[in-house]
Structure 1
Amino acid sequence: MSPETAVVNIQGQYQIYTEFYHAEGAKKTIILVNGSLATTASFAQTLRYLYPHFNVVLYDQPYAGQSKPHNRHDRPISKEDEAYILLELIEHFAAEHVLSFSWGGAAVLLALAYQPRRIEKAVITSFSAHLNGPMRAYLEQGVKFLAACDRQGIGGLINTTIGKHLPSLFKRFNYRHVISLAEHEYAQMHCHVSEVLSQDNHYYLNCADAIQAPLLFINGELDEYTCTEDARLFVGHARECHYSTILNAGHFLDMEHKAAWLATQQATLGFLQAPARGQRHLPVHALEPQAMAG
């Protein structure tokens, strides 16, 4: 399973490294949106269950991974910039679906608020509507390490907080990845985290008010940082929401153990492959639908 790779020019502003996994017979294309400090490699487990049901697009943000050599890094980019990039990639690859992990959900919500005509459904994993106590404490400690470019500090913080349920092998991989990042990547994340800490808790709920596409929120039962209860605050904002809680899983869901991978697979494929509204709905036992007003 080798992808077609390309560097996509986003209207002369950004050069984005992409990987396109073409699945023979697939009728839909899905774009995956990374969380903070991540690259295309972080979606290895997710790719395993989306392909060959869908054509799959992975990409690196301008400041990260294999996009890094193709861009200038003279200023941090905003979540609005990331949403703009996503909207352009949706058109470029003619994608019908989008899936995000962790803070990648922020870019997805901002992009979907523009009601891109192609997007039919979106899956948002490990994201919630506001900063609860544990997440705020994690980010407040993280912004100090990022400001000091303390590589060991931020690597250890991730593994003892949001990554604490990961197997030891993944923790070692995460740590090696994080401590190897360039200074501009730390500056980028410092800017982003500082912005998040200063935002009103209703910021992403307000974005959801404009979203027409059905959303599936997937959260881990053991994830105290982006928990299901906080994700459910999107009820009454987005037009149609579904929720799935992955038992015995933390923030990293399908990376943590086989049962969590299978449950995430079932929830994601069940949602994406279900008939559209107005058609006969097949039973999808992993989902907990919430009817929306409007």
Structure 2
Amino acid sequence: MRPEISVLDIQGQFRVYTEFYRAEAAEKTIVMVNGSLATTASFAQTVRNLHPQFNVVLYDQPYAGKSKAHNLHEKPLTKEMEGQILLELIDHFAAEHVMSFSWGGAATLVALAHRPRRIEKAVISSFSPVINAHMRDYLERGVKHLGARDRFEVGNLVNDTIGKHLPSLFKRFNYRHVSSLDLHEYDQMHFHISEVLTLNESNYLSTASNINVPVMFMNGEWDEYTAAQDARLFGQCVQKSTFSTIQSTGHFLDMEHKAACRDSRNAVLDFLKTDQPGSQPSRHRLHQPQEQHAFAL
């Protein structure tokens, strides 16, 4: 499964590395949005879950992965800038769906709030509008270690908190990746966390109130940092919202164990394929995600 690779010019400001996994039988295309400090490699399992049912688009933010060699990194990107990049990619690839992981949810909310005409459905995973006590502790320690550019502490922090339910092999990969980033990536993350710490839930809910397409918010049962019950606050403002809790898994969902991978896949495919002509809900739900449709307020 080899992707079509290209580096796209975004409004003359950024150059973005993309991977397009084409499936000849697929009728829809989905764009995946990374979390902070992540790259296209982070979605390897998710691509296997979605392809060939969908064409899948991966990309690296201008400051990360295979995009960073093509950009100058003169100043950090805001979530609004990242949202605009996502809108450009949606148009370029004529995508009908978008799916984000972790802090990629912030840029996705910004993009969806612009009501891109092509988008039919979205999945926002491991994200909530609330900076709860667990997340605040993680972010405040992150600001300290990133500000000091302490590679050892940054690498360990990720594994000891949001990554604590990952298998040991993935923890080693996480540590190598996070502790070996370029300094401008640490500066980007420091900027991002500092910005997040000044926000409250009303900022995210206000942005989300402009969304007019069905959105599934998917969280892990064991995730203390972007907790499932906190994500349900989006039901107050996203009229067509659905909530899925993946049992016995934490922040990294499909990467943590086989059952979580299966249940994440089933939840996403059921949501994206339901109500499309000729489609039927998946029969596989051995650990049924807890779903409900929120009332609009």
After TM superposition, the score normalised by the length of structure 2 is 0.96
Q: Residue in 1 aligned with 2:201? A: 201
CA distance in 1, matches of 2:256, 2:49: 15
**Contact 2:266 2:282 (C-alpha < 8 Å) held by counterparts:** no
Letter in 2 for 1:179: S
Q: Residue in 2 aligned with 1:139? A: 139
Q: Residue in 2 aligned with 1:221? A: 221
Deviation per residue, 1:80-109 (Å, 9 max, x gap): 000000000000000000000000000000
Deviation per residue, 1:263-285 (Å, 9 max, x gap): 000100000000169x9985786
**Contact 2:4 2:21 (C-alpha < 8 Å) held by counterparts:** yes
Deviation per residue, 1:126-152 (Å, 9 max, x gap): 001110000001000000000011101
Q: Residue in 2 aligned with 1:162? A: 162
Establish whether residue 58 from structure 1 lines up as the match of residue 61 from structure 2: no
CA distance in 2, matches of 1:41, 1:267: 22
**Contact 1:271 1:287 (C-alpha < 8 Å) held by counterparts:** no
Cα separation, partners in 2 of 1:195 and 1:281, compared to 1, 3 Å: same
1:229 positional shift: 0.3
Give the alignment's Cα RMSD to 1 decimal. 1.6
CA distance in 1, matches of 2:233, 2:260: 24
SS at the partner of 1:250? coil
User: Tell me, which stretches of 5 or more residues in structure 2 are unaligned?
Assistant: none
1:200 positional shift: 2.4
Share of identical aligned residues, percent?
A: 61
1:235 positional shift: 1.0
Query: Mapping of 1:179-190 within 5 angstroms?
Result: 179-190=179-190
Q: Residue in 2 aligned with 1:212? A: 212
**Contact 1:242 1:288 (C-alpha < 8 Å) held by counterparts:** yes
1:288 positional shift: 1.1
CA distance in 2, matches of 1:283, 1:163: 29
Number of corresponding residues: 293
CA distance in 2, matches of 1:131, 1:59: 27
SS at the partner of 1:231? helix
User: Tell me, which stretches of 5 or more residues in structure 1 are unaligned?
Assistant: none
Moved more, 56-65 or 283-292: 283-292
1:286 positional shift: 3.8
Q: Residue in 1 aligned with 2:20? A: 20
Cα separation, partners in 2 of 1:283 and 1:28, compared to 1, 3 Å: closer
Q: Residue in 1 aligned with 2:255? A: 255
Q: Residue in 2 aligned with 1:289? A: 292
**Contact 2:131 2:200 (C-alpha < 8 Å) held by counterparts:** no
CA distance in 1, matches of 2:113, 2:290: 23
CA distance in 1, matches of 2:78, 2:10: 15
CA distance in 1, matches of 2:71, 2:6: 14
**Contact 2:129 2:200 (C-alpha < 8 Å) held by counterparts:** no
1:202 positional shift: 1.0
**Contact 1:38 1:64 (C-alpha < 8 Å) held by counterparts:** yes
Letter in 2 for 1:266: N
Letter in 1 for 2:69: P
CA distance in 1, matches of 2:80, 2:211: 16
SS at the partner of 1:57? strand
Q: Residue in 2 aligned with 1:267? A: 267
Letter in 1 for 2:125: T
Cα separation, partners in 2 of 1:53 and 1:283, compared to 1, 3 Å: closer
CA distance in 1, matches of 2:293, 2:282: 15
Cα separation, partners in 2 of 1:131 and 1:74, compared to 1, 3 Å: same
Letter in 2 for 1:293: A
Deviation per residue, 1:233-260 (Å, 9 max, x gap): 0112012111111111000000000000
Query: Mapping of 1:65-104 within 5 angstroms?
Result: 65-104=65-104
Query: Mapping of 1:87-126 within 5 angstroms?
Result: 87-126=87-126
